[in-house]
Amino acid sequence: VEEINNVTPEYVRSFEFDSKLMPSTWIVVRIDGCHFHRFSEIHEFVKPNDDRALNLMNLCAVAVLEKFWEDIVFAYGVSDEYSFILKKATNLYQRRANTIISAIVSFFTSTYVMRWKNFFPQSELKYPPSFDGRAVCYPSTEILRDYLSWRQVDCHINNQYNSCFWKLVASGKSKREAQNSLKGAQLQKKIEELAIDYNNLPVMYRQGSSVYRDKVDIALIHQENGEFPENYGKVIVGHIDIIGPTFWLEHPNILD
């Protein structure tokens, strides 16, 4: 082994630590846009919900599921965030946290930039967007379901709040006034007061987006190696209730 000024590669490497994610647990990688409050203003997102931006996020999530098709079984997204669920048995990058998070977040981000013009043909990308990422292990399917429920409840509450906020702004209130009048308010009551037809808002705004494979034919998976097998199951985007049991009962192979 080559030495430079008596420094061996082994010595320098001895400072590196690979944090491994706990074996046999669900891994959730959640990514979130950095300063998207500003990013969405500079790029003139429609408030409170810009369809183009949401559809671009969804396309990036589909691309992530196709690239990591052996490991990622489900994803849930809302606003500028996405949660990717890696199956319990995954051995992706030997479960090294840093590698898993950075590979997902950089692939998602470069896809976002590459596909920007498809969703915003009239509006130039003014600076490079970035996302942060974190990984959390969940030891049981029950707790993983609780995690997903928490994200969907958050989607609902934020969407109620934002619907009221932007309705108040549209009615001539300043952002500060709108914020003050919603402080501690019961959102359900506010929605009625402001005559917002909440239940008829697009389901994507109310439920967020879920990304998964339609049907997985286990018998066909083993016929091919490496590349995403065509018959593995098309990746689809749905806007559905993932808190109740129905979806999971109808798709028993996702979290099996």
72 binds, among ligand ATP, Mg ion, none (CB under 5 to 8 A by kind): none
- 36 interacts with ligand ATP by CB under 6 A: yes
Touching ligand ATP, residues 106-135 (CB under 6 A): none
Closest to ligand ATP by CB, 50 vs 70, is 50
Taking the least distance from each CB to Mg ion, the nearer of 90 and 210 is 210
- Asked if residue 33 binds ligand ATP (CB under 6 A), the reply is yes
Complex with Mg ion: residue 33 or 77, whichever CB lies closer: 33
Residues 145-174 that bind ligand ATP (CB under 6 A): none
Could you tell me which residues are beta bridge partners of residue 212?
Answer: 74, 236
Interaction partner, residue 133 (Mg ion, ligand ATP, none; CB < 5-8 Å by kind): none
Answer yes or no whether residue 71 interacts with Mg ion by CB under 5 A: no
- Judged by CB under 6 A, how many residues of this single chain contact ligand ATP? 16
Residue number with CB closer to ligand ATP (38 or 215)? 38
Interface residues toward Mg ion, by CB under 5 A:
32-33, 36, 79-81
Interface residues toward ligand ATP, by CB under 6 A:
32-37, 40, 45, 47-50, 53-54, 79-80
